[in-house]
Structures are given as structure tokens and as C-alpha cells.
Amino acid sequence: MVGSKKRGSMVDNDFEAVRGSKVDQVRELAKNSYGHKPNLILINAGTNDCVAQDTSGTKDQMGGLLDDLFKEIPGTTIIVSTVLASNRDDDIEKHRPGLNDDYRALVEERRAQKQKVVLADMDYITKYDLAEGDDIHPGDEGFRKMAAVWWKAIQVAMDEDLITAPAESDVVTDGTYNLCPKKYGSGRHAEGTQQGSGEDDGIYKHTSEKLDKRMVITTSGKAGGFFFARMRLDKTDDLVRWEKNKKGEVQYHFYQNDGNGHWDTFGNKQVTFTVHDNCESSPLGVRWADMNGDGLDDFVCIGTNGGIFVAINQGGVDRNKGPSFKHVGIYKTNEGFKQDRIHLADIDGDGRFD
């Protein structure tokens, strides 16, 4: 939001509007915003022309305002709204329908000329949406409806690819003066440095690079026997594979992450380790999660009945052996839910899985 005036409790409260102005006066006041170079301009004007009961030249004045804005702010997009309904039949309502028809015709004429103009038709808002005791201005619910009409018009402009990036503002400069004292809140905001309100960083957009096949591992283990877990304090996940050996004992094969999308097999040397409470029946109960907040993933076995067993990762990884684990044993008895209903996650952000 940009403009030479501020009002309202919202953080981004800049605007360029004055109560009581007719369209020819709005045209003059709009000059205060030329330097901000807005890429989207919303215009709601004409009510006071109806109050003055003289709308014969209002369409031309609105057309002149559009001409001024397009000339002084190249590339901008303008949304023109119709005049809102009122509770004043003697002046506003006498002239409003005709003026709104003029505005609709003006927008159609300019769109036919390929100008970047969209109509926001406010006829959806009635006198029943006015603020209590006010014959002209909407109440809160009326303003919500008005905002919805603006937003719909903005979406039309977006769908038609009318809205372009804002040009560099003439108003914001680095400045050459060093004058003190300064009054808090008297400075200008750094417009042109962000998109949106600045209250968040926008919609998440994922980007990634697809890599080729990293490695091939053959296993006689059951499905679900591959895990990625932080076995070392280097912020990368190593590969761990569950497998039963020829004696029927569960062991884990360890492959160290080299940080470049590969897992080191140590020259085809098999590095294995075992854990107490190995989840011997199936890898489906195996989880790797940091249970004590030390940055290493610990061994968790969720039994088929929902009980949880834990062994704490002690580290000690090298090229000849995997990590060692300290047996804790039963960590949590079941609460009536079986293995497939139990999930681990750090809910409260303390670094430990709950």
C-alpha cells in the first residue's frame, strides 16, 4: 500500500484518499501518489458528484483521471469501482444509477483500446450494508463485501496478466541529510522492496534438482527395511538397512552420507551394528528419532501392541563400525492403540520427539 497519507491500525496503512472530494478534485489530489509508482490503483470516486447533483461531466473527469495516471505511471493497472448505494434518495440515489452506467461504459471503451482497466461493480452492496447512523458509508460487514468485490476485480486483472511489477519509486531515496532529532513514525517506509504486506513471506514454492540413480543395494530383508537417519552430528542423514543374518539375528547395515547425494559403502566393506530390542519380527516397527535432544537419532522400536522401546545413540561412527546404543528398554506402555496408529514427532519444538 502506498500514498501520501496514513490512517488505520493495520501495519501497512498508506493510502491516497480524501473525504468530500469530487472526481475533478480527486484528479488533482492523485498527483501526490505519482512518485510512488504504484502498479495497481483502486479508484472509488463519484459519490460527492452525486451529492452536488452535477454528474454531467463526471465521466469525462474520470476519463481524464485515467489518462493522467496512465501517462504519469506507465504500466500501472487501474480498477474503477461504481458508486456505492446510499440512503439519500434526494441527491445521491437520483444520480448514482446514471453515473454508474457512465462508468461501466467508460471502462468498456478503455478496455476496447487495450488499456489496463477493470471494473469493480459495487451494486452487490446495498443500503442495508451501511453503517448504523450513516447514510453513505458501509459498516464493517459492508466493507467486507466491498473488499470481496475489489479482490474479485484484482483476480480478473491477474488472470488477464495486466498486473506487472512496480517501477522504481521516485519517493524513496537514500537521502543526503543527517538531521536530528527524528520523531518516531515520521519516516517513509521502504516501498518497492517487497511483495505483499510484509507480514509473511508468501506462498511456499518448492525447487529441487533431480539427480540420477545414486546407488544400488540388494537385500534379502523384508519390505520397509530402508531408513534415513542422523547417525552423526553433521546434519546429513545416513542410510540404514534392516536385515536378518543367516542365524536369524537382526542387524543393521550402515552407509555414511558423503554430503553430495551418495552413501559411502566404505569400499564395499559391510559396516553393521546391532541394537537391543531389535524389533526382530519386522522392520515395520523401527523408527529413528531424537528422543533426548542431542542431535542424534535414537533407535525406537514400536511393538505390535503399541508399546515403545528405546535405545539412545552414543555415536562413535567410523569406517569400521556403526554407532553404538545405550539400552533404555520400555519407554512408553501402550495406550490401547497398536503399532500402525503410533507416530513420533517433535510437537513442542524442544528438539525431542514426542
The helix or strand, by DSSP H or E, that contains position 79, with its residue range, turns out to be strand 77-81
51-70 pLDDT per residue, tens: 999 999 999 999 999 999 99
- The cell 503410533 sits on which residue? 342
What are the grid coordinates assigned to 148, written together? 470481496
Tens digits of per-residue pLDDT, 330-340? Answer: 998 888 888 88
pLDDT of residue 266 exceeding 80, the answer is no
Residue 307 has pLDDT above 70, yes or no: yes
**Residue 176 pLDDT > 60:** no
Residue type, 329: G
CB 125 within 8 A of CB 139: no
Domain segments of the chain: what residues? Answer: 5-159, 226-341
Q: How confident is the model at residue 76 (pLDDT cuts 50, 70, 90)?
A: very high
Averaged pLDDT, 158-166: 94
pLDDT digits (tens, 9 = 90+) for 90-147: 999 999 999 999 999 999 999 999 999 999 999 989 999 999 999 999 999 999 999 9
CA dist 154 and 163 (Å) reads: 9
For the chain, percent of residues with pLDDT exceeding 70: 88
Q: What is the pLDDT of residues 3-52, one digit of tens each?
A: 888 888 888 888 988 889 999 999 999 999 999 999 999 999 999 999 99
Q: What is the pLDDT of residue 175?
A: 46
> Within the chain, where are the H helices?
23-29, 47-51, 58-72, 92-112, 140-159
Q: Does the domain at residues 5-159 carry the CATH identifier 3.40.50.720?
A: no
Mean pLDDT of the chain: 87
C-alpha 341, offset from chain centre: 31
Give the pLDDT confidence of 243-260 residue by residue, as tens digits. 887 787 888 888 988 888
pLDDT at 223: 61
Angle at 102 between CA 97 and CA 103, to 5 degrees: 95
Has residue 204 got a pLDDT over 90? no
More confidently predicted of 307 and 155: 155
Written as nine digits, the cell of 61 is 473527469
CB under 8 Å to 324, separation ≥6 — which residues? 273, 314, 315, 316
d(CA 40, CA 160): 14
Q: What is the pLDDT of residue 197?
A: 57
Q: Is the pLDDT of residue 177 over 60?
A: no
CB atoms near residue 287 (< 10 Å): 20
* Contact between residue 329 and residue 275 where contact means Cβ atoms under 8 Å apart: no
pTM over 0.75: no
The pLDDT of residue 306 is above 80 = yes
